[in-house]
Amino acid sequence: MAEKKNEILELTEELVKFQSTNDNEEEIEACLEYIEDYFSGPEFSIKRHVHDGTPSLVVTYGENSDPGLMLHGHIDVIEASDEMFSPERRDGRLYGRGTSDMKAGVAVLMHLMKDMKAEKPDMGLMIVTDEELGGFNGARKLFKEYSPDFAVSAEPNNTEGYMHIITEQKGVLRLKLSTEGLSAHGSRPWNGENAVEKFMDKWREVKGLFSEHGAGENWTTTVNLGKIKGGESTNKVPEKCEAWLDIRTAEEYPNSEVIQDIKDIDGLSTEVISDEAMLKTDNDNVYVKALKKSADGFLEDCSITRKEPASDMRHASREGIPAVVFGPEGYNPHAPDEYTVIESLEDYHNIMKAFVSDKFSSNGGGQE
């Protein structure tokens, strides 16, 4: 058992060493080639997909264009200092860029694929390279080509406590709003119309569409006015004001209604920058329940829950594919102190193996 843990840990470290940020095509390519090499052998079939220049891989046991279970991981990471690409083991944790988000998860899934090669369960592993950019050329396209019965992303939960199964994540709506005014000299404001003031009025109307929220969890649709631009100089009446909103949607107030309500406000121009649906999978789905059962065999307290941040699994949801986010324990993604909890890697491996054996193995129930 200790050997397995070490193998996964070493594999994670190898993956972390690639500086596979979204703008570093060479390192992304090198990392993909490393993964292809890992699966060299007659048992595996590796299909490379390229959409608009963005490469992805799907690994299966022999030719299988329709695996019942699709595992998912991304190898692209957020920029970091060079030192962060030299992973460091400390206090039962592995620190480094992409340890948590999400090369530890990728390493476990890779190990799992190899570990089960004799059984050849009906599953595939999807490795994408553009999750941090929204996944539009990776998971978005691949979940149109593959229609598994269930998908699991090994993204970290980044939540308090140990691993949990996430069946819901909020939708994302990004809007650019603008108001137009009339420029004039600052000494004669009556000759102009102030676009910034006009926006401030309209903003109150926009904000009024969303319910009030307090501290703690708010499973409601929320709005953040993230950026605003208006005016050129102090002595000039601004003729244009632009603002960018980050709206996270829950079922109570979905994307389409929010867009319509904001478009209905007079004197405000609305441009939809992105419109991304929620991840929403039924908690009673047979695979969700089976995964929970497997997790309960190894963990004391694994719940089926929901989380605000979006992930690539929304692309599966969009195609009607039941999907969950369930990965090893990891914290501080995108931050300088990003780490994964080493102990969780083996637990995650064991849970996934039990789940796959239970639900996707042809010889059924082949748990060790």
Binding region for Zn ion (CB under 5 A): 101-102, 155
| Closer residue to Zn ion (CB): 102 or 173 | 102
| Closer residue to Zn ion (CB): 101 or 338 | 101
| Closer residue to Zn ion (CB): 101 or 115 | 101
Q: Which long-range contacts (CB under 8 A, 24 or more apart) does 230-236 make?
A: 230/195, 230/196, 230/199, 231/195, 231/196, 234/186, 235/185, 235/186, 235/187, 236/183, 236/184, 236/185, 236/186
Least distance from Zn ion to the Cβ atom of residue 155, Å: 5
| Closer residue to Zn ion (CB): 164 or 202 | 164
Distance, CA of 245 to CA of 199 (rounded, Å): 13
| Closer residue to Zn ion (CB): 16 or 102 | 102
Least distance from Zn ion to the Cβ atom of residue 284, Å: 27
Write phi, then psi, for 318 (nearest 5 degrees).
Answer: -60, -30
Structure token pair of residue 198:
């006009």
| Closer residue to Zn ion (CB): 13 or 101 | 101
Distance, CA of 349 to CA of 329 (rounded, Å): 12
| Closer residue to Zn ion (CB): 134 or 254 | 134
Least distance from Zn ion to the Cβ atom of residue 100, Å: 8
Assess contact for 356 and 121: CB atoms under 8 A: yes
Residues β-bridged to residue 230: 241
Least distance from Zn ion to the Cβ atom of residue 237, Å: 45
| Closer residue to Zn ion (CB): 313 or 321 | 313
Q: Distances in Å between the alpha carbon of 337 and those of 14, 316, 330?
A: 19, 30, 11
Cβ-based neighbour number of residue 296 at 10 Å? 12
| Closer residue to Zn ion (CB): 101 or 239 | 101
Give the residue nearest to Zn ion (CB): 101
Q: For tokens 């095509």, what's the residue?
A: 25
Least distance from Zn ion to the Cβ atom of residue 254, Å: 24
Least distance from Zn ion to the Cβ atom of residue 156, Å: 7
Structure token pair of residue 227:
């950026």
User: Mind giving me the DSSP string for 117-142?
Assistant: TTT--SEEEEEES-GGGTSTTTHHHH
Least distance from Zn ion to the Cβ atom of residue 170, Å: 16
Least distance from Zn ion to the Cβ atom of residue 131, Å: 5
Question: b or e along 84-112 (b: 16 or more beta carbons within 10 Å of the residue's beta carbon)?
Answer: bbebeeeeebbbbbbbbbbbbbbbbbbbb
Least distance from Zn ion to the Cβ atom of residue 231, Å: 38
* DSSP 8-state code for residue 240: E
Assess contact for 245 and 224: CB atoms under 8 A: yes
